[in-house]
């Protein structure tokens, strides 16, 4: 029987690349979107998956999303918590509303989806949860304090949850991408990208497909004895 993977934030570059690769490796794939439906819908038709829309901060919407996936494919075997937002601003200019938005998208979404996915995973004594953090969650970034804090929280969540659900045969791992060629970095100038590439030992920025390959590794049986880990896909910049 084919396994099923849910990729949140599948309208974005990394999420789309993860969905495409997991489908190529034989998974049923559910592609989540919130507001940007068109890219996820187009990709779902391309790879033969299904699209599911939800505000992942809302427990009721998350529950409904999982019910739709279960009706189509059965329970989730692999959860990729990729959905998130970024914002560059001075910390002194940030507000409580900014905090709620960033932590809601980057952290609460993973909490809600993981809690729902674990219902099936614990019953099956098997499962993979893969969280997409950031290199800034490891070392912090000026003018991205709230974003860095939310991604650091996701790393702590990974390590703690891995210990809690390990006895149930479930692995929980985290990927910390570096500078990746996605729309999230489209606000950076060519000069900024060049400077970041110059700071990276491999002398270039990464691709969404390279992050997707790390996700596929953590999803595979070959990583069954690896849990609670943070893998930097960052060209050596951290």
**Inside any domain, residue 105:** yes
The chain-wide mean pLDDT, for the chain, equals 96
Distance from CA of residue 16 to its chain's centroid? 11
Least confident residue range of 145-159, 185-199, 217-231: 185-199
Strand segments, DSSP code E, in the chain are 4-7, 28-33, 50-53, 78-81, 127-132, 170-177, 230-233
**Domain CATH for 153:** 3.40.50.720
Residue 128 covered by a domain: yes
The two three-digit tokens of residue 6, written as one number = 């849910």
DSSP string, 43-75: HHHHHT-EEEE--TT-HHHHHHHHHHHHHHH-S
- Give the position of tokens 């909490």: 111
Residue span of the structural domain in which 146 resides: 4-232
Residue 37 lies in a domain: yes
Active-site residue set? 147
Query: Is position 125 within any domain?
Result: yes
Residue 204: DSSP 8-state: S
What is the pTM assigned to this prediction? 0.96
237 is a domain residue:
no
Q: Does any domain span residue 238?
A: no
Q: 69-126: per-residue pLDDT in tens? A: 999 999 999 999 999 999 999 999 999 999 999 999 999 999 999 999 999 999 999 9
Closest CA to 7 of 232, 216, 180: 216
Within a domain: residue 215? Answer: yes
Domain count, the chain: 1
């Amino acid at each position: 029987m084919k396994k099923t993977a849910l990729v949140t934030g599948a309208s974005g570059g990394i999420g789309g690349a993860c969905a495409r690769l997991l489908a190529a490796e034989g998974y049923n794939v559910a592609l989540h979107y919130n507001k940007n439906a068109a890219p996820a819908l187009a990709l779902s038709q391309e790879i033969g998956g299904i699209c599911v829309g939800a505000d992942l901060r809302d427990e009721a919407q998350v529950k409904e999303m999982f019910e739709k996936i279960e009706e189509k494919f059965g329970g989730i075997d692999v959860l990729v918590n990729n959905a998130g937002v970024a914002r560059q601003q001075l910390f002194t200019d940030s507000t409580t509303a900014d905090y709620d938005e960033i932590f809601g998208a980057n952290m609460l979404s993973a909490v809600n989806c993981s809690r729902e996915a674990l219902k099936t995973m614990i019953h099956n004594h098997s499962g993979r949860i893969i969280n997409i953090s950031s290199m800034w969650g490891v070392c912090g970034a000026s003018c991205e304090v709230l974003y860095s804090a939310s991604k650091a929280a996701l790393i702590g969540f990974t390590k703690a949850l891995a210990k809690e659900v390990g006895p149930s045969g479930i692995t929980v791992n985290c990927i910390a991408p570096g500078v990746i060629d996605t729309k999230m970095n489209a606000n950076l100038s060519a000069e900024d990208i060049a400077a970041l590439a110059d700071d990276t030992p491999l002398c270039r920025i990464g691709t969404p497909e390279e992050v997707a390959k790390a996700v596929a590794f953590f999803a595979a049986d070959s990583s069954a004895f690896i849990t609670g880990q943070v893998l930097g896909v960052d060209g050596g910049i951290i």
